[in-house]
Amino acid sequence: MDQTLQKALDQLDQASAAVRLAVQNLANAPGGADAAGDAAHALSGGAIDPFVFRFAIFILAIFVGYYVVWSVTPALHTPLMAVTNAISSVIVVGALLAVGISASGIATGFGFVALMLVSVNIFGGFLVTQRMLAMYKKKESAK
């Protein structure tokens, strides 16, 4: 088997192990955003809808993500991209759940579309990462 392909498969195995661990941690977490939304609803006497609280967290995450990604130096782009591919694997789990568990055809359709887009993102990201890493390898001189 080609050495590059073997490296990619090893990275995929490591990413899937990390995703399994992340999903287990999320499953064992005591509430997360749901608990925060419910707490804000209770503390405000019912004035803040939990959806609004979760939506505000989502919007803040967009801004934080934007500033974090655009402040990354080019030298750190490859490791960041590898981590992003691993995070995208978590989205695959959610999309598979949406496709498999949903009773609604709309949720199944959106889950399928999400699954296709995330698959393209993951595999394309691994290919780009491999090309970037190949740029740092020393070229063998012909004698």
pLDDT tens, position by position, 96-115: 877 788 777 887 888 888 88
What pLDDT digit, counting tens, does each position of 117-133 carry? Answer: 888 888 887 787 788 77
Model confidence at 26, pLDDT cuts 50, 70, 90, reads very low
Asked whether residue 95 carries a pLDDT value surpassing 70, the answer given is yes
What's the CA gap between 22 and 108, in Å, rounded? 24
What is the reported pLDDT for 37?
Answer: 65
Q: How far is it, in rounded angstroms, from Cα 93 to Cα 88?
A: 9
122: buried, middle or exposed (CB in 10 Å: 19+, 13-18, 0-12)?
Answer: buried
pTM: 0.42
Q: What is the pLDDT of residues 36-59, one digit of tens each?
A: 666 666 776 777 777 887 788 889
| CA angle in degrees (0–180, nearest 5) for 22-23-29 | 90
d(CA 27, CA 25): 5
> Mind giving me the DSSP string for 83-111?
HHHHHHHHHHHHHHHHHHH-SSHHHHHHH
Question: Where along the chain do its domains lie?
Answer: 1-30+74-138, 32-71
Q: Identify the pLDDT of residue 27.
A: 47
Is 91:47 a contact under the CB 8 Å cutoff? no
pLDDT for 31: 57
Element spanning 50, H or E: helix 50-70
